[in-house]
Amino acid sequence: MTNSFSQDLGKSAGIVAREVCGIKKGERVLIVSNPLKETEAIAQSLFKAVGECGGVPIIVFQQEKTLLDYADPIVIAALKSNPDVFLSISANKLGKDEEAMKKPYIADDGKTYNHIFDYLLYGAKEMRAVWTPGITQDMFSRTVKIDYDLLSKRCTALMKVLHGADYVHVTAPAGTDVKVIIKGRKPFADDGNFTEAGSGGNIPAGEVFISPVVGGTEGKIVFDGSMSLNSEDILIQEPIIVDVVDGYVTNIVSSSKKPATFSSNDAGKLLDTITAAEEKALQMEAEGKLPKGMGEVYKKNARHIGELGIGLNPAAQVKGNMLEDEKAFRTCHFAIGSNYDGDADTLIHLDGVVLNPTITVYYADGRNVVIEKNGILQ
């Protein structure tokens, strides 16, 4: 690593520690990473930056995990120590919580969580967090140093538009034409302000997102930017056409109308990942790793549309790494799989990017607001 590049990492790490997380003297900060070139250097830079803020950092390294893998038990044990701040600096994923999947945590409001991370962050609200699935040193150096005040204003404006709406209609040049019902759903912002307990999000930050009503998405989504799969993200070479009926994916083909067959094309790779998650869910129930009856639930929800998100980070680009791609201007993304409201649990959450969308929000009184037109914020 060159000295100038190391300095760039240090500057970004300092911004994350000071501005994004607001690390205070004496706070315990758990950093979980992978012993790989990209992630290890970022984790070490954050370790140093946390110490410079007066925090008490600890790093735990585990091997890279995919969507279908479990986190190392030592990682779960470290989380159970209730750190003030948690930084997941992962090449792919943190890993699932095997114990909590068998016996979920129950919050005071009765909501259940199948990962100690989710429980501490969203249920108990005792922790704040950053997670970075797929982070690279280049991305960390480029996309962290942005105007967070401006990002916050944009996020606030979009959340205001989405709040109280009935549905969203999304179209795009490649052929996307889909209606997403969001009545009663709460929009979320990844605005880079994770200074209060119970707050957290990605680095790079920069999106507003919402979980559609379960069963409330209808139409056609054409992914033409990038797609997240089980073990990798891909730049889409041949757009993937996904038909959605009553909220669930019913058909996947490539834009050439070729059927999605095992890894034969981008559409096939997506279908392969979904199929693997469906089969894994049934296997886990048979092995006692999911409660009885949940295998079928997880299998069904592997085809659910779980998210609509809008990219708002001006430094982000579509490069074939979803952590950055979904934050880029002139994009929106849909996720196949689990949602953020906790009522569509499954093993996967596969984000797919749609380029240059037109996004219109509709209300019960007949009003409508255009958020983006051909990818340009209105």
Confidence of residue 318 (pLDDT cuts 50, 70, 90): very high
pLDDT for 17: 98
pLDDT for 6: 74
**Contact present, 67 and 82 (Cβ < 8 Å):** no
Would you say how long the chain is, in residues? 378
The tens digit of pLDDT for each residue in 147-191 reads 999 999 999 999 999 999 999 999 999 999 999 999 999 999 999
The tens digit of pLDDT for each residue in 335-373 reads 999 999 989 999 999 999 999 999 999 999 999 999 999
Read off the pLDDT of each residue in 236-260 and give the average, rounded to a whole number.
Answer: 90
Read off the pLDDT of each residue in 261-290 and give the average, rounded to a whole number.
Answer: 90
pLDDT for 342: 87
Domains of the chain listed by start with CATH number: 3-138 (3.40.50), 147-377 (no CATH)
Residue that the structure tokens 């948690």 belong to: 86
The tens digit of pLDDT for each residue in 293-303 reads 999 999 999 99
pLDDT for 231: 79
pTM of the model: 0.89
Give the Cα separation of 238 and 91 in Å (integer).
Answer: 26
**Contact present, 121 and 128 (Cβ < 8 Å):** yes
pLDDT for 39: 96
pLDDT of 329 strictly over 70: yes
Give the Cα separation of 151 and 236 in Å (integer).
Answer: 28
| End-to-end Cα distance, the chain | 41
pLDDT for 101: 93
Give the Cα separation of 371 and 378 in Å (integer).
Answer: 6
Read off the pLDDT of each residue in 28-55 and give the average, rounded to a whole number.
Answer: 97
Read off the pLDDT of each residue in 56-72 and give the average, rounded to a whole number.
Answer: 95
pLDDT of 262 strictly over 70: no
Q: What is the mean pLDDT of the chain?
A: 95
**Contact present, 84 and 124 (Cβ < 8 Å):** no
| Range 108-139 burial, b when 16+ CB lie within 10 A, else e | eeebebbbbbbbbbbbbeebbbbbbbbbbbeb
